[in-house]
Amino acid sequence: MTEFTALPDLALRSLGGSVVAANDESFAERENLIRPGRPAFRPHTFGAKGQVYDGWETRRRREPGHDWALLRLGMPGVIRGVVIDTAWFKGNYPPHARVEAAEVEGYPTAAELETADWVEVVPVSPLGGDAEHFFEVSDERRYTHVRLSVFPDGGIARLRVHGEVRCDLSVYEGLGLDLAALENGALVTACSDEFYSSPNNVISPGLARHQAEGWETARRRDGGNDWMVIRLAGSGIVRLAEIDTTNLVFNAPAEVEITGSADGGTWFPLLPRTRLLPDTRHRFRVEDAPVAAYARVDIHPDGGLARLRLHGFLADD
């Protein structure tokens, strides 16, 4: 594992990613590439096209060339690392792969993307069977799409594109937005504990379907409390805090407190220490808050949150 895997997977289906095209998917569908979770496998599970694989698998090529899949990132951003996972592909994995990226605004079709200015972020690299392959990326440019090429053919279980979100916030000019949303560019930069699940889950899109899709800490025995710090999508004024403990029936925090900061050093109150109920979506108005670029969420004493939303307005600058 490398540090970049702690960053969000920009291509993940549950975060809005899509595999918009592939030149071939004879044995297994391209959509599997960006499914959440580890790839699954049941031996001797055969369909009309052979063994069923939880991944993308192309036919055996009998002509020159290579196979490829084209992905639209659910959250455009700066790519910090790529993981190519060949889990369960042991005799049918590609020996080499490459990843390219491009920035194309709007809603281009697959055909229009063929003429994009593609940049190689992972050069042609050797792959092994049934293994995760980690590739760090040193490129500060923002990208909206990636293209995975395999040489010459075979199966890839998952493609993970980890990075930092860089979305276009100009569409919210004059409108309110969730300043703490991962998809708007917010990121959890520190937390006291992530024993059961990642704190970035709490600012992910949509609703948590179960406890693992939120943030949950270990049980504290030291008299302290758990916390997280969020770098907001942009400097702004918080007007509404939504704290969701859905699915947390016996492990919700007893109370929550939220503070804000313009510089990450000096903190001011946004929401005073407030009682929470289990399995409940709470909404609290925030009055007369200064401009904040960071938010700190303290839960007392421990437990979990399903989601956190900080609705407000971007500052004029």
How far is the C-alpha of 106 from the C-alpha of 274, rounded, in Å?
A: 42
pLDDT at 70 over 60: yes
pLDDT at 34 over 90: yes
pLDDT at 61 over 80: yes
Model pLDDT for residues 278-303, shown as the tens digit of each residue: 999 999 999 999 999 999 999 999 99
- C-beta of residue 203 within 8 angstroms of C-beta of residue 177: no
How far is the C-alpha of 24 from the C-alpha of 65, rounded, in Å?
A: 12
Model pLDDT for residues 82-116, shown as the tens digit of each residue: 999 999 999 999 999 999 999 999 999 999 998 99
% of the chain at pLDDT higher than 70: 99
**Which of these ranges, 25-29, 197-201, 217-221, has the smallest mean pLDDT?**
25-29
The predicted structure's pLDDT at residue 246: 96
Beta strand 132-136 pairing with 158-165: unpaired
pLDDT at 42 over 90: no
Please tell me whether residue 200 adopts helix, strand or coil conformation: helix
Residue 215: half-sphere exposure toward Cβ, Cα within 13 Å: 26
pLDDT at 48 over 80: no
